[in-house]
Amino acid sequence: DAMVIQNPRYQVTQFGKPVTLSCSQTLNHNVMYWYQQKSSQAPKLLFHYYDKDFNNEADTPDNFQSRRPNTSFCFLDIRSPGLGDAAMYLCATSRDGSPRNEQFFGPGTRLTVL
Amino acid sequence: GEDVEQSLFLSVREGDSSVINCTYTDSSSTYLYWYKQEPGAGLQLLTYIFSNMDMKQDQRLTVLLNKKDKHLSRRIADTQTGDSAIYFCAEGELNNAGNMLTFGGGTRLMVKP
């Protein structure tokens, strides 16, 4: 049973062409996270939503935006993708912000920028 | 800022024990985590350990924490080919926005038959 679903699994876009990645969850969790994972590197937190409250990491580029229209869905918008934005994008959820509660990860969307 | 470091690779033979080590810098971390990532998949939580513990064991998996040295290790006994994956250590920092994870770079474990 899929719990954190990411669509598409693979996304190809052109340099500068806006792209949107999608994440949905069936867990009814309050918190949703977006991570960027470049090849052979650690996942890096971009931002997260606690319910409707948006929390941006200080070093997340302005090029990256996010929307959470309801509990189940969260979107990552890249306004003008550059070659350096090619990466795996991981969505995760947790019931709340407690460290005891596991972050459940989706399978990721691999973004290629041509 | 926080920094989490791991070795990049580990190769073991099937049936041997495999130990992956991790060091971290944030002394205020409350929880430390081990995640497993198989090819093309997301991260799967293996276990976590609270910072006031020094050991946690679950079947083949043993986690040791040396808080004084900020050193975390994960040992798998009788390593199997299915254990081949990338293993990430992560530390959690609890702030007003919730529990933020900082990941190490991951250790790629290769298990040879």
Q: What is the pLDDT of residues B11-67, one digit of tens each?
A: 999 999 999 999 998 777 678 999 999 987 889 999 999 888 889 998 999 999 998
Confidence of residue B2 (pLDDT cuts 50, 70, 90): low
Cα end-to-end distance, chain B, whole Å:
40
Instruction: Of B45, B38, B97, B98, give the one whose Cα is nearest residue B74.
Output: B45
Q: What residues contact A95, with CB distance under 8 A and at least 6 apart?
A: A27, A29, A30, A31, A101
- Which chain B residue shows the shortest CA-CA distance from A3? B42
Interface contact flag, B98 A41, Cβ < 8 Å: no
Q: Which residue from B minimizes the CA distance to A96?
A: B98
CB distance B42 to A4 below 8 Å: yes
| CA A89/CA A23 separation, integer angstroms | 10
Contact residues, chain B, for A43 at CB < 8 Å: 43, 88, 103
Q: Quick check: A105 and B103 CB within 8 A?
A: no
Q: Contacts of residue A50 in chain B, CB cutoff 8 Å?
A: 97-98
Tell me: pLDDT of B108 over 90: yes
Q: Do B100 and A45 touch (CB under 8 A)?
A: yes
Measure in Å the smallest separation between the Cα of A53 and chain B Cα atoms. Answer: 9
Q: Does B100 touch chain A (CB under 8 A)?
A: yes
Are β-strands A10-13 and A109-113 bridged in parallel, bridged antiparallel, or unpaired?
A: parallel
Average the pLDDT over B67-96 and give the result: 90
Per the CB < 8 Å rule, is B97 touching A44?
no
pLDDT tens digits, A77-106: 999 999 999 999 999 999 887 777 788 999
